[in-house]
C-alpha cells in the first residue's frame, strides 16, 4: 500500500498521509473529516488508486496531532492546505476530481466554488450543525474547551476511524466559519456532484443536504444516493464497497464524456 513520509509524533501509521501515482492521467484529491485523519478515508483512496488514478490524501492542519492543536487551528489554514494540494495535482493532471466526507465534503464544495474540479463525490457532507448551542461557540470555547468525541459513528461492528477522543469547541467555532463559506459558494459550483447520504447519520443533520440542494444552481448535475445500512463514516461501513464502485464509475463517466 503506497504511503508517503514517516508518521510524525502523535501520528499512527494508519493516519499517515497517502499518495499514489496513477496511470490514467487523472487525479483524485481525497479529504478527511473533522477530528479524523487519513485512516477514515484510506479504503476509498486505495480504491481510486486501484482504479488507475493518482491519489492524494493529506493530513489536514490541526489533525493527527491533538485536539488541543485543532482547537487553535483557523479554518483558513485548512482551506489553504486543501487548495495547495488541489493545485499541485491540477498542475500535473488534465482533470482532478475531489472526494470528501463530512467536513471534507464541505471543503470539497468550497473547492468546487473557488477552483475547477472535474467532479465531486461527497459522503455525508457537513454544511450545518444541529446543536442549538453551536452559535455560542465563540464564547463557549473559553469556558468548555472540549466535549465528547464525535468519532466512530459506524453501524458495522468493530469500525474505528482513529479520530480524536475529544471534540474541541474552538475547532467547532472554526468549522462553523468553514460551513458558512461553503454555503455561500454553492451557486458558483459548475461541476457534477454525487452525494452518498446515510439514512442514519448521528453527526451531520439532514439539513446539510437540504441546504446543498437549495444552494446549487438548478441546472447542476446533483445526484443523491441514499445509504440505508450505513451511519456517518460510510467509508468504513456496510455499503463502503458500493460507495467506492459508484464514485469511481461517476468519475469515469465524466472523464469519458470529456474525451467524446
Asked whether the beta carbons of 96 and 4 are under 8 A apart, the reply is no
Let me know if 237 is a catalytic residue: no
Pairing of strands 18-20, 119-123: unpaired
| pLDDT recorded at residue 36 | 96
| pLDDT recorded at residue 259 | 56
- Cell numbers for 244: 467506492
Q: Vertex 14, ends 232 and 80: CA angle to 5°?
A: 70
Edge-to-edge strands, sheet with 222-227: 18-20, 54-57, 26-31, 95-101, 119-123, 193-198, 222-227
Structural domains of the chain ordered from first start: 13-259 (3.40.50.1820)
Active-site residue, selected from the candidate residues 32, 232, 237, 247: 232
List the chain pLDDT tens, one digit each, 260 residues. Answer: 343 333 333 346 789 999 999 999 999 999 999 999 999 999 999 999 999 999 999 999 999 999 999 999 999 999 999 999 999 999 999 999 999 999 999 999 999 999 999 999 999 999 999 877 777 677 778 788 888 898 999 999 999 999 999 999 999 999 999 999 999 999 999 999 999 999 999 999 999 999 999 999 999 999 999 999 999 999 999 999 999 999 999 999 998 766 54
Residue with cell 476530481: 97
Let me know if 66 is a catalytic residue: no
Alpha-carbon 222 to chain mean position: 17
pTM beyond 0.75: yes
Three-class SS of residue 21? coil
Cβ count within 10 A of residue 145:
14
- Measuring CA to CA, how many Å separate 240 from each of 3, 198, 215, 234, 246? 21, 11, 27, 6, 10
Using the Cα atoms of residue 160, residue 7, residue 111 and residue 180 in order, give the sign of their dihedral.
positive
| pLDDT recorded at residue 7 | 34
User: What is the number of H-type helices and E-type strands within the chain?
Assistant: 8, 9
Asked whether the beta carbons of 95 and 118 are under 8 A apart, the reply is yes
Asked whether the beta carbons of 216 and 189 are under 8 A apart, the reply is yes
d(Cα 228, Cα 246) in Å, to the nearest integer?
A: 15
Active-site residue, selected from the candidate residues 40, 71, 102, 247: 102
- Cell numbers for 147: 466535549
Let me know if 12 is a catalytic residue: no
| pLDDT recorded at residue 132 | 72
Amino acid at each position: 500500500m503506497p504511503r508517503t513520509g514517516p508518521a510524525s509524533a502523535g501520528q499512527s501509521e494508519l493516519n499517515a498521509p497517502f499518495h499514489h501515482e496513477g496511470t490514467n492521467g487523472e487525479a483524485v484529491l481525497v479529504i478527511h473529516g473533522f477530528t479524523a485523519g487519513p485512516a477514515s478515508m484510506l479504503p476509498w483512496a486505495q480504491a481510486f488508486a486501484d482504479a488507475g488514478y493518482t491519489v492524494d490524501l493529506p493530513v489536514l492542519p490541526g489533525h493527527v496531532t491533538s485536539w488541543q492543536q485543532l482547537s487553535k487551528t483557523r479554518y483558513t489554514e485548512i482551506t489553504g492546505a486543501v487548495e495547495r494540494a488541489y493545485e499541485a495535482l491540477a498542475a500535473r493532471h488534465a482533470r482532478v476530481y475531489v472526494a470528501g466526507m463530512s467536513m471534507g465534503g464541505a471543503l470539497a464544495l468550497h473547492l468546487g466554488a473557488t477552483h475547477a474540479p472535474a467532479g465531486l463525490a461527497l459522503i455525508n457532507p457537513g454544511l450545518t450543525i444541529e446543536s442549538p448551542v453551536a452559535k455560542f461557540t465563540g464564547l463557549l470555547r473559553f469556558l468548555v474547551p472540549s466535549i465528547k468525541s464525535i468519532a466512530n459513528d459506524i453501524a458495522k461492528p468493530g469500525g474505528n476511524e482513529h479520530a480524536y477522543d475529544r471534540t474541541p469547541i474552538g475547532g467547532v467555532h472554526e468549522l462553523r466559519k468553514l460551513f458558512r463559506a461553503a454555503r455561500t459558494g454553492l451557486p458558483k459550483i459548475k461541476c457534477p456532484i454525487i452525494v452518498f447520504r446515510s439514512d442514519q447519520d448521528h453527526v451531520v443533520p439532514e439539513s446539510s443536504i437540504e441546504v446543498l440542494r437549495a444552494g446549487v444552481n438548478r441546472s447542476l448535475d446533483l445526484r443523491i444516493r441514499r445509504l440505508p445500512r450505513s451511519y456517518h463514516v460510510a467509508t468504513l461501513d456496510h455499503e463502503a464497497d458500493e460507495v467506492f464502485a459508484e464514485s469511481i464509475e461517476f468519475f469515469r463517466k465524466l472523464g469519458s464524456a470529456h474525451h467524446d
